Structure 1
């Protein structure tokens, strides 16, 4: 007979707060092209989805503030689309033309206004990683930098739940990082898509939580 889920969760949480275990907060793609309502018209968000996105960004801001207050490292993962190096598989998937140049509508082009952080931003000295695709780990030194910082487990937040948050969390757990995803600090452009993404993350990738519980875990770790 399988054990009660509450028993498993208690053991998972106990591991995270073991003496000496150091958390990190990984913030994914909270950039203007993905988070600023003025730039999201093409995605066709409903008012409910826009409200959920706004609430999620607010909770991400709360987590960044709490991480800094408890000396939890904040790590910033951002998309940097490079016209000189187009993501050809992405071109093919979205437009069917593998060899096309980068579209003028590509999000988060390097040094463009759309690539700027939205409502929150890195502080001096915090780790920043620029990625080319979905995952913050693919083709970057994120794993090495987290290990060099002495981190032991990750809280992953950001946009969007079914895409870059999922891909980053997936790679993290496969690289042996325990991952926590707060339900209230990620979002998608469709409420149903977000709900499904959270189910999948909880099944295969992460311990699902919320902002208040995560902050409590961080505080227990520094007592």
Structure 2
């Protein structure tokens, strides 16, 4: 049965937010700390995210790319505290994801096309300290895909919801390092901020959005 909340989005302007589809989180060559099952689930999520991007582009739905960008000379004090580091201690760059100047920051599996908005973020939530809320204020809803379900997808969904947007999370286009954590994240999302759907339902949803082809997007950075 189709969720009536998804049906209610038909005819309303929306966008696809791609969260942290970057090598640090998606490239199996950088995921040696994960077991084979986790790497397989990550590869599947990356493939579904790339599929969602192509569906959005084909339907004229804007695609917004949210990218974690860590400056090695500018530690995030709260993260340092959480990791047991001092407030001004250097980032542990060999392990820290998406550090400027390292391969981990690069896109993986799909990448922005010309004219698509790219939002660089410093924290988990792509709405925190960025222009994303302003760039999406004319929209009614956003769908989220990317990595990871328990961290940046979860936080960005909360940011979008707090910004007044209706939120859809593509559950098969995201994952976490272990399956139980992923399922728990989807339950939290479904309980508080988002309708959890899948890429097949996403394809149907954007096909039901009247006049979506040729719709103008949020603009470039």
CA drift of 1:92 comes to 1.4
Give 1:191's aligned residue: 179
1:144 matched to 2:131? The reply is no
Q: Distance in 1 between matches of 2:192 and 2:171?
A: 15
Give 1:35's aligned residue: 26
1:16 matched to 2:20? The reply is no
Structure 1 stretches of 4+ with a deviation exceeding 3 A read none
For normalisation by structure 1, the TM-score amounts to 0.90
CA drift of 1:222 comes to 2.8
1:50-89 equivalences under 5 Å are: 50-89=39-78
| Residue of 120, 129, 140 corresponding to 2:110 | 120
Q: Give ranges in structure 1 of 5+ residues lacking alignment.
A: 1-5
1:60-83 residue CA offsets vs partner (Å, 9 max, x unmatched) = 000001100000000000000012
Give 1:155's aligned residue: 143
1:114-137 residue CA offsets vs partner (Å, 9 max, x unmatched) = 100001000111000000010000
Q: How many pairs align?
A: 210
Is the helix fraction higher in 1 or 2? 1
1:76-128 residue CA offsets vs partner (Å, 9 max, x unmatched) = 00000012321111111113423312222221112422100001000111000
Classify the secondary structure of the residue corresponding to 2:8: helix
Q: Give ranges in structure 2 of 5+ residues lacking alignment.
A: 212-221
Q: Distance in 2 between matches of 1:95 and 1:118?
A: 30
CA drift of 1:47 comes to 1.3
Please say if residues 81 and 109 of structure 1, whose CA atoms lie closer than 8 Å, have aligned partners that are also in contact. yes
1:1-46 residue CA offsets vs partner (Å, 9 max, x unmatched) = xxxxx79x31x123211x3x112000000100111111112xx322
Q: Distance in 2 between matches of 1:157 and 1:64?
A: 9
> What's the Cα RMSD here?
1.4
1:123-162 residue CA offsets vs partner (Å, 9 max, x unmatched) = 1110000000100000000011122xx4220001111100
Please say if residues 35 and 53 of structure 1, whose CA atoms lie closer than 8 Å, have aligned partners that are also in contact. yes
Q: Distance in 1 between matches of 2:163 and 2:127?
A: 9
